[in-house]
Chains A and B, each alone.
Chain A
Amino acid sequence: MLRKSSWLMAPCLAYMLVMYVTPALIMLYSPFQNGVGSGIASLGEALVEPSYQRVMMTTFRTALVVTVVAVLLGYPTAYYLSRLPSEKVGKYMLLIMFPLWTSLLVRTYAWIALLQDAGVINSTLMSTNLISNPVRLLYNSGSVAIGMVQILLPYAIVTMYSVMVGIKPRLSQTAQVLGASPVRAFWHVFFPLSLPGLSAACLLLFIMGLGFFVTPALLGGRRDMMVGTLIQQQVVLLGDWNSASLLSIMLLAATIILLFVYSRFARLENLVPASS
């Protein structure tokens, strides 16, 4: 039975090799098809190209900002949930999962409807005469960050929650019985134990933040372009396959390096809390 069943893997493996590995290799190879030397040269040029550098800087900065904000918002939330009795957590978790189930474009559209000049926030403020002219809330780095944080929060909360829920409440109580103040008990007992979840959430969010496409494209202005949008523009609008694949290689390299770091101190399977 044991030997006989491995052929069941064949269809899926064949599919992945043809439809996934081969396309990836074609893309990785395409800058090098005129010789390895010229490929490396063009990759080097792309790395120092000012317009690419600017987009790359925006990408990294945005990913960093949204990671920090989402973790700062997510940590107390996950802490609160992890201290709730387990029968109460269920309905909160449903609410946290709800954004993940709703369409990405629907959520982005909702932000546009809220933030645009004639949108919910501006029209409400104007009808109450708090402001006379609409405030420009959309198409800047702030609106991109708001949209991205909202999308990333569920990942942050669940990643940290899964670690925090394993920290026994008794530990903090013991510290307090022994004379520590609640604040001291938190920082000296709970916080160090929650660090694996915190660092895993940071890396996961940063990796995901680098690859964002829809949110910056729809909520951001021209100056907030991230590398995902640039790749799409190079291919679809300009037909410049070479630049698109060079940018993809850079994005992919950053992702792989970070994933490697992640796998050093957290198992990749932990990215999927359900499998535990």
Chain B
Amino acid sequence: MNTASNTPRVAPWTAWFAHAVIGFMVVPTLLVVPISFNGDQYLRFPPRDFSLRWYEDFWSNEQWLHSAWISLVTALAVMAIATTLGTLAALALHRMTGASKKILLGLMMSPLMVPTVVLALALYFFFARLQMVGTWTAVVLGQVILAIPFTVLNVHASLQGYPATLERAASSLGAGPATTFFRITVPIIRPGILSGALFAFMVSFDEFIIALFLAGPGETTLPVRMWQTMQLYISPTIAAVSSMITGITIAIFVASHALRRRANRRRFAERQPGTSRLASTRGHTLAPASGRWTENRKLMSTEV
């Protein structure tokens, strides 16, 4: 607690308490990793003998591999559709004002507050009428609804402070709408598009309830396969799968964090007088510092 003298002092128990709470949030999930290297049939802790048998079990099992593949393809498809729709919508929203903007933004954000079970049921009814329950397409189309809020929000945030005069300047200098879009607008909102796409991917890769309602037996995604296995018995193979998913998640987490740090640094560097040439060609100085807590947007994933 002996920080700089101008910061207020908090009672020591608060610090202990906060560390305990954060530990409660993080540690149980990480315990899966040592468990996955357990050679025993039972989930002993600490593990008695080191073994990779549960990883072998995953990599030699057609069903698990197929599910991983389905999850990956689904997430990529959801990401592509949601990013396209969300980016265009955010561009339009940015220029709107008043009640219409409020209503449209509310509509785009509402899937986050509707219980996912209710949304999944509604989609089930809908796709049942179209004879599409049990198809891969239905899962993708449904998950896009959950991903759109993230892409809209991220692009919308990166448009804050974006001056419309730039586009007018470009067109007055003879650039067509397409040139203006790709040479002026896209570079400015690129960080927002990228993080929106990343969130869309993660939302779909994690998504479970819509996939459970709509996926057929041939399109079992990884979370649904985990769920089905967990209903039968607590296989340590799931610990191996969980460890790999967590590892990949941490890697993406760290990478996106590093990317954003670099982007912020570059943006800061461009504010220095000597580098104005770079800034004017790339237009990065015009993009706002897109917030320190971009991760927070993941907060809105309410599927629980």
Taking Cβ atoms with an 8 Å cutoff, the residues of A that contact B are: 1-2, 5-9, 11-13, 15-16, 19-24, 26-27, 30, 73-74, 76-77, 79-81, 83-85, 88, 90, 92-114, 116, 118-120, 123-124, 148, 150-151, 153-155, 157-158, 169, 172-173, 182, 207-208, 210-215, 218, 227-228, 231-232, 235-236, 241, 244-245, 248, 251-252, 255, 259, 268-269, 271-276
Choose one: B43, B91, B142, B302; the contact of A119 (CB below 8 Å). Answer: B43
Contact A20 B145 (CB under 8 A): yes
B144 to chain A, nearest CB (A): 7
Residues in B whose Cβ lies below 8 Å from that of A251: 115, 117-118
Contact B293 A19 (CB under 8 A): no
Contact B125 A95 (CB under 8 A): no
What total of chain B residues lie within 8 Å of the partner, measured CB to CB? 104
Within the assembled complex, what's the spacing in Å between the Cα atoms of A178 and B241? 58
Within the assembled complex, what's the spacing in Å between the Cα atoms of A112 and B236? 11
Choose one: A5, A26, A98, A255; the contact of B92 (CB below 8 Å). Answer: A5
B156 to chain A, nearest CB (A): 7
Contact B304 A83 (CB under 8 A): no
Contact A103 B168 (CB under 8 A): no
Contact B25 A95 (CB under 8 A): yes
Choose one: B96, B230, B299; the contact of A109 (CB below 8 Å). Answer: B230
* Chain B residue at minimum C-beta to C-beta distance from A273: B296
Within the assembled complex, what's the spacing in Å between the Cα atoms of A139 and B3? 44
Contact B104 A13 (CB under 8 A): yes
Q: Known contacts A1-B168, A77-B21; is A252 also within 8 Å of B293 by CB?
A: no
23 contacts between A and B (CB under 8 A): A5-B95, A11-B85, A23-B119, A26-B126, A27-B122, A27-B125, A77-B18, A79-B14, A93-B295, A97-B295, A99-B26, A101-B298, A104-B303, A105-B208, A106-B29, A106-B242, A120-B35, A213-B209, A244-B121, A248-B117, A271-B112, A272-B109, A274-B153
A-B pairs, 9 with minimum CB distance: A211-B115, A23-B126, A12-B89, A9-B92, A120-B45, A80-B18, A23-B122, A8-B92, A169-B8
Contact B295 A74 (CB under 8 A): no
Contact A97 B92 (CB under 8 A): no
Contact A16 B107 (CB under 8 A): yes
Secondary structure of the B contact surface, majority rule: helix
A80-B14, A85-B7, A259-B113 given. 5 additional CB < 8 A pairs?
A2-B164, A11-B85, A20-B111, A20-B145, A107-B28
Contact B31 A101 (CB under 8 A): no
- Of the candidate stretches B60-68, B72-80, B245-253, B275-283, the one touching chain A is B245-253
Within the assembled complex, what's the spacing in Å between the Cα atoms of A7 and B144? 20
Contact A228 B31 (CB under 8 A): no
Q: Known contacts A102-B29, A153-B25; is A12 also within 8 Å of B108 by CB?
A: yes
Residues in B whose Cβ lies below 8 Å from that of A96: 22, 25
A250 to chain B, nearest CB (A): 10
A205 to chain B, nearest CB (A): 11
A1 to chain B, nearest CB (A): 6
Choose one: A93, A101, A213, A271; the contact of B304 (CB below 8 Å). Answer: A213
Within the assembled complex, what's the spacing in Å between the Cα atoms of A172 and B8? 9
Residues in B whose Cβ lies below 8 Å from that of A104: 206, 208, 223, 303-304
* Chain B residue at minimum C-beta to C-beta distance from A27: B122
Within the assembled complex, what's the spacing in Å between the Cα atoms of A120 and B42? 10
Within the assembled complex, what's the spacing in Å between the Cα atoms of A74 and B25? 11
Contact B144 A19 (CB under 8 A): yes
Residues in A whose Cβ lies below 8 Å from that of B89: 8-9, 11-13
Contact string, B159-201, partner A, CB cutoff 8 A, digits 1/0? Answer: 0000010011000000000000000000000000000000000
Within the assembled complex, what's the spacing in Å between the Cα atoms of A13 and B91? 13
